[in-house]
Structure 1
Amino acid sequence: MKFLCQIWFDTEKSKLVPQEEWDVLTQKCILSDNRWRDSGHLITALALHDPETAVTVRVRDGALSATDGPFAEIKEHLGGFVLIEAKDIRQATEIASAFPIADYASIEVRPAYSIQERE
């Protein structure tokens, strides 16, 4: 089964982490990602730029609206995601809990499926 691990940061707290600490964490995450990829569990992992770089798109009654920034004021922001393969939610949770980023963020683990292959 595939599971999406969404990495959520407290927006204000994450701004307080020194860049040197982020740099060390990034290296730990790269090593962790490589280990999970080599084991066959990691499908993809991507970090996201700050919420201010986003554009929110809406189509209502055929009219397109594109707004700079996130949809709403947020206390937490989505900082990245990891798509993994695991036998069940328990194993997926165990894998996510081993990600070094878990010390800095909340990780939401959710089963994922292809809408073309929905069970």
Structure 2
Amino acid sequence: MKYMLMIYMNTDTWETLSKQEREEVFEGHAAFIKTITESGEMVGTEALANPANSVTVRVRDGVPASTDGPYAEAKEFFCGYYVVDCDSVKRAAELAAMIPDARYTGIEVRPFMGQGGAEI
């Protein structure tokens, strides 16, 4: 079954980390990628740019309108993800706990859904 491990970050929290702590986060991601690649559970991963660089698009009465910035103002924002293919939500949660950002913020584990609503 495929799961998305969604990483959230709080800029205020990130800014309190020392240079060494930030380097440990990056090194932790490299180690995590190695682990899930070797186990065959890695499907993909991406980091996202700061939400200040985003655009939100809404269509009302057939007319699209764009606004700068994220959909919702929040201290925490979605900053990246891993897609893994593993046996259970329990295993996906174990993998999420290995992501170094979990020490500072939340990692949401969500199964993928195929056509017709079935989890895949």
Query: Which category describes the TM-score, using the shorter chain as reference length?
Result: 0.7 to 0.9
Q: What residue identity is the alignment partner of 2:48? A: L
Count of aligned pairs? 118
Structure 1 portions without partners, runs of 5+: none
CA deviation after TM superposition for structure 1 residue 97, in Å: 0.8
- For 1:1-119, what aligned pairs fall within 5 Å after superposition? 1-115=1-115, 118-119=117-118
User: What's the RMSD between the two structures over aligned residues?
Assistant: 1.7
- SS of the equivalent of 2:32 reads helix
Structure 2 portions without partners, runs of 5+: none
TM-score (norm 2): 0.86
User: Structure 1, residues 37-90: CA drift from partner, whole Å, max 9, x if none?
Assistant: 221111111111111011111112211111111112212111111111111111
CA deviation after TM superposition for structure 1 residue 101, in Å: 2.1
Q: In 2 relative to 1, CA 8–112 (structure 1 residues): closer, same or farther, beyond 3 Å?
A: same
TM-score (norm 1): 0.87
Structure 1: distance between partners of 2:99 and 2:79: 14
Q: What residue identity is the alignment partner of 1:16? A: T
Asked whether the 8 Å contact 2:13–2:104 carries over to 1, the reply is no
User: Structure 1, residues 12-55: CA drift from partner, whole Å, max 9, x if none?
Assistant: 22232244532332122012112202211111111111110111
Q: Identity of paired residues, percent?
A: 32
Structure 2: distance between partners of 1:17 and 1:87: 34
Q: What residue identity is the alignment partner of 1:74? A: A
Structure 1: distance between partners of 2:63 and 2:34: 43
Structure 2: distance between partners of 1:37 and 1:8: 22
